[in-house]
Amino acid sequence: MLDGSRGPAGSRPRPAQQPDRHRSPRRVLVPDPVRSHGGRRGGEPARAGDAQRYALSRESSYRWHMASGAVVTLFLCGDVMLGRGVDQILDRPGDPALREDYVTDARSYVRMAESVNGPIPAPVPPSWPWGEALRLLETAAPDARIVNLETSVTRGDAFAPGKAVHYRMHPANVPALTVARPDVCVLANNHVLDFGRAGLEETLDTLEGAGLRTAGAGRSAEEAYRPVAVPVGAGGRVLVLALGAGTCFHPGRLGGDRRPPRRRPRPR
């Protein structure tokens, strides 16, 4: 079949392109004609409206992916540290004792903050340390919220030896964490063992009691390596695994077995 159109003078008519009935239609993201090689194909200068057409194509592709459930949005928040000075302004401040070279009382950090920003209305509500972040988080509405909890949650006072900085928050102040509604709290970091195994166990018990799931630390190697499954979309899931660098202060240094389990742990 011919479409009746001709190219340059003297050229043969081009066959009309036949649709492939056996191939499902695909939607692709069209490359930006303005950014590709400085213009259009063949080095032609960009035409008026190219950017708008590209934007519409990109928006159409994005909407299609969203409708098909192919897009998953994640909230990834590193170093959520609710201990030390933050713990002291919450409803149930823990023991303020520290063993740092220059600071021996966590309330010193509160006074330093007030000297720069003015008085802090302690005790503050659980949402106060997050400021505007919670409102922005609700607006973004991510499919999964994953935070790195950079502190132990314990009343213990067994400071881990050989560390310059120790973080801890009182277990009664855990609402300052749950207010952000994290789906997973990552514990594979260098502060979860600041107060030894007893502090780790109290941290795990407190978070579990608050309905929070954890990855990267546990009472056994299998529990620490076990991923957490976060349901998303229609039957989808995000698997969260957490591993710390070899320089982290991990359970292996306290005599525990930190080798990966022989069998792959099932997601929680």
pLDDT tens digits, residue range 210-245?
Answer: 999 999 999 998 999 999 999 998 888 999 999 988
The verdict on residue 108 lying in a domain is: yes
The verdict on residue 246 lying in a domain is: no
**What separation, in Å, do the N-terminal and C-terminal C-alpha atoms of the chain show?**
59
Q: How far apart are CA 168 and CA 175, in angstroms?
A: 15
Q: What is the per-residue pLDDT across 83-100, written as a single tens digit (0 to 9) for each?
A: 999 999 999 999 999 999
Q: Give Cα 122 distance to the centre of its chain.
A: 29
DSSP category for residue 15? B
- pLDDT tier at 106 (50, 70, 90 boundaries)? very high
The verdict on residue 259 lying in a domain is: no
The verdict on residue 244 lying in a domain is: no
Report yes or no: 233 and 67 within 8 Å, Cβ to Cβ.
Answer: no
Task: Please identify which residue in the block is written with the tokens 């030894």.
Answer: 196
Total tally of structural domains belonging to the chain: 1
Q: What is the per-residue pLDDT across 37-89, written as a single tens digit (0 to 9) for each?
A: 344 444 444 455 555 555 555 555 455 455 555 689 999 998 999 999 999 99
The verdict on residue 36 lying in a domain is: no
The verdict on residue 22 lying in a domain is: no
Among residues 139, 246, 147, 133, which one has the least CA distance to residue 187? 147
Give one DSSP letter per residue of 147-205, joined into a string. Answer: EEE-SEE-----PPTT-S---EE-GGGTHHHHTT--SEEE--SSSTTTTHHHHHHHHHH
Helix locations, the chain, DSSP H = 50-68, 84-89, 107-117, 133-140, 175-178, 196-209, 221-225
The verdict on residue 249 lying in a domain is: no
Report yes or no: 110 and 88 within 8 Å, Cβ to Cβ.
Answer: yes
Q: Which domain holds residue 103?
A: 74-215
The verdict on residue 138 lying in a domain is: yes
- The pTM is what? 0.70
